[in-house]
Every structure is written in structure tokens, then in C-alpha cells.
Amino acid sequence: MVPLFNALGISTERIVINPTAPEFFQATKKIHNLLQGAEGTLTEHELEVYHDNIRMVAEAMSQDSVSADIWFLHDPQLLPLAGLLRHNGSANAKAWFWICHIDLTHPNENALESLLPLHYDYDHLIFSLEEYVPRHMLNGTPVSIAPPAIDPLTGKNQPLRESEAWDIVSAMGIDRARPLITQVSRFDLWKDPWGVIDAYRMARHSIPGLQLALLGLSQAADDPEALEVVNSVASHAAGDPDIHLYHDPSGLPASIDGMVNAFQVASSVLMQKSTREGFGLTVTEGMWKGKPMIGGDAGGIRLQIEDGVSGYLVSSPKECADRIVSLMTDDALAGNIGTAAHDSVMRSFLLPRLALDYLKVAKEHAS
Ligand code: UDP
């Protein structure tokens, strides 16, 4: 998005906050989980850690005299920032937008109540789906819907020959002579890696020799739960030599983007069996490559996949296994679904559409 806007003559910069306290990321991961529907409450201490760290970010930005005409602040981690920056006078902006990327279909109402008042400091809110908009708490702040999109020109999404993809995945221990299915995603509670393993086990009865890869190499720095999930998934895999878990980003035969691309291209079927998903970039990336994608019937995936046309939506490991088997035993079906998947990404989920969505919102407030 940044190079695209700059190329359009709109001077654009991306700032990544970097609070050092691990407690901040524990608090924000909990906020993320609660907003996606986890049970529990935020303690006073967690809220204090959250606000204190963002206050330090705001102070550092003010000292650096960071300024812009229009701010796009992403996700709940940053929600308090607009209020802090706009009241200290150093960020003299025309408009502040908050973009919420998470699945708010079944939020924990307590968490929503303690955080959402922070939206009053924003001029416009952007959600990925109409269903996520918590209208009962918004008091008239303008809202737009702008689902994310992918950049077809990044290494991860560039055309890659299947033979080259297989060179990379076989260097990672996948047997070239047997079929592969993959889920690319962080090791995270909501991505249901356990259900993916269950589906693979059922499908393997009909597809002998099937191999499964779970690729979660780039552990997000803001995700302190990942290692716990990796350990639990490894124990669920129970030493099956055809279940490959990849979580260590060292010593790879390609860049992380190259690894993602290779696994997506080499696989016969891709999965994103999430139980909550604001919008699955991996879903769109796989579909762009013309691969049949099986997604969890949740959140943004329902927008991304038209069930039975451009992929399949599933609600259980059994349903997922049935779809794996029918796609892998019917080349024409897999081909048709893959083509429809690619076309739907072309129509709706490439970066220029998202840039236009953002510019429309900006135009409303820029004058
Ligand atoms: N990704 C990656 N390396 C991995 C796993 C995922 O670079 O090992 C990328 C993936 O290609 C996608 C992004 O991380 O672009 C994940 O986005 P998504 O919306 O699917 O899920 P999130 O992690 O934001 O919940």
C-alpha cells in the first residue's frame, strides 16, 4: 500500500510501534482474543500496561514531531493512540481513521465496553465486514467496510513453477512422490491446527500416502501464545512422520515469502480451518494461485470463499476431510474451483481495490 500510494503521488509512510515490555503484548493478545469472543475479563493491571505503553509510544512520536494529514491506525493495539496524539498538539492532522482487522462477530461484550469508547477520538472507522460493526456502541461515528487485499507483485504471490516449488518443499522433508496438503498460518488457537490434523487423518484413509504441512514460520512478535500452541499441536501430531510442523525460521532453503509461496503452489489442496478470522490473507493468497481452498465457515472467510464455487466452507474436521478427498480424486472439480478462486481474487481482493476504498474514506474528510 505504501509504495502504491507514493507512486500515486500521495506521500505515505508506515510506522511500526515497538513497545519493549513483553507484558504489553500479553495484554494486547488477550484483548485480541477477548474481542474475537474468548471468555474472561481484562484486569486493571492489563489495562494499565496497555495504556501506559501506548502513552510512551505517543510521547516518543511527539518528540520525533511525527505528523501527517491523515492517519490510518490499525487494530486494537493502537486504539488509544489517536486520542493521545491529537490532544498533545504535535500531530496536527485533518482526520484519524481506525481500521479494525479482527473478527467481531461474537465479541466479549465486557472487553468491547471497556475499549470501544476509545473510538470517539476517530473520525471514521473501517471494518472488514458489515457483520463486525458494533453499531450499538458507535453513536454515529461514520463507518466504512473495506476488506483487506493482497499485493500480487510481492515475492509471496508471484508465479512460481510447480517443479521449483517442489524443490523447496522437498528440501524441507516433503516426499516429492506423494501428495501434499497445507495450512499456512501462525500457530494460534483460532486457526484450529488440531482440526486440520484430524481432517488429514480422516482423508488419509482415502488418499494413501497423503502428507500434511502446517507452516507457521513468522511468529508475530506480538503473539506470546504461539510456542504453547506449537507444543500442543506437536503432541496432537503424535510423531506421525507425514505431519510436518514448521515453526523455526532459521536455516530455510528460501525466504519466508518464498516458503509460503512454495508450499501453496506445491499443495493439491490448501486449508484455513479457522474458527474466527477477521479476514484470512492466506485464503486469498492461496486462491490467487488457483488452488482449491477449504476455509472454516467463519468471519471474513465467508466473504472470501463462495462455498462450492470458489472453494469450500467447512464447520468440522469431517466436512474438511470429505472436501479434501473429493478435490483430490476429481481433477476437473479441483481445476474449476481453482480457476473460480483466482478470478474472484482478481475481481475483489487485490491491492488497488483496497487503495481506492481508503482513498474514498480519506476524500470524505480531507477537505
Ligand atoms: N505468513 C508468513 N509465514 C508463515 C505463515 C504466514 O509469512 O509462516 C503470512 C501469510 O502468508 C499471510 C500472513 O502471514 O500473509 C497472515 O495473515 P492472515 O490474515 O492469514 O492471518 P493473521 O496472522 O493476520 O491472523
* Mean of pLDDT values over 333-356: 98
Which mutation among 186, 191, 283 tests ligand 1's pocket best, with the greatest number of atoms within 8 A of CB? Answer: 186
| pLDDT higher than threshold 90 for residue 310 | yes
Is the Cβ atom of 280 under 6 angstroms away from ligand 1? yes
| pLDDT higher than threshold 70 for residue 91 | no
Distant-in-sequence, close-in-space partners of 15: CB < 8 Å, separation ≥ 6: 61, 66
Cα gap 278→32, rounded to integer Å: 11
Is the Cβ atom of 215 under 6 angstroms away from ligand 1? yes
Q: What is the pLDDT of residues 232-242, one digit of tens each?
A: 999 999 999 99
Specify the amino acid at residue 91.
Answer: A
* Mean of pLDDT values over 61-86: 93
* pLDDT of amino acid 362: 95
| Number of CB atoms found within 10 A of residue 358's CB | 19
| pLDDT higher than threshold 90 for residue 51 | yes
For ligand 1, what atom is nearest to the CA of residue 282? 20
- CA triple 217-221-227, angle to 5 deg: 60
Domains of the chain: 2-149+351-366 (3.40.50.2000), 155-348 (3.40.50.2000)
* pLDDT of amino acid 18: 87
Q: Provide the grid cell at 99.
A: 481500521
Quote the distance between the C-alpha of residue 154 and its chain's center.
16
- Complex prediction ipTM: 0.99
Cα gap 90→65, rounded to integer Å: 6
At 223, the pLDDT band (50, 70, 90 cuts) reads: confident
| HSE value, Cβ hemisphere, 13 Å, CA-based, for 103 | 23
Cα gap 267→162, rounded to integer Å: 9
* pLDDT of amino acid 185: 96
* pLDDT of amino acid 89: 65
DSSP 3-state of 121? helix
Is the Cβ atom of 258 under 6 angstroms away from ligand 1? no
DSSP 3-state of 248? coil
Is the Cβ atom of 103 under 6 angstroms away from ligand 1? no
For ligand 1, what atom is nearest to the CA of residue 249? 8
Between 367 and 4, where is the model more confident? 4
User: pTM to 2 decimals?
Assistant: 0.95
For ligand 1, what atom is nearest to the CA of residue 257? 7
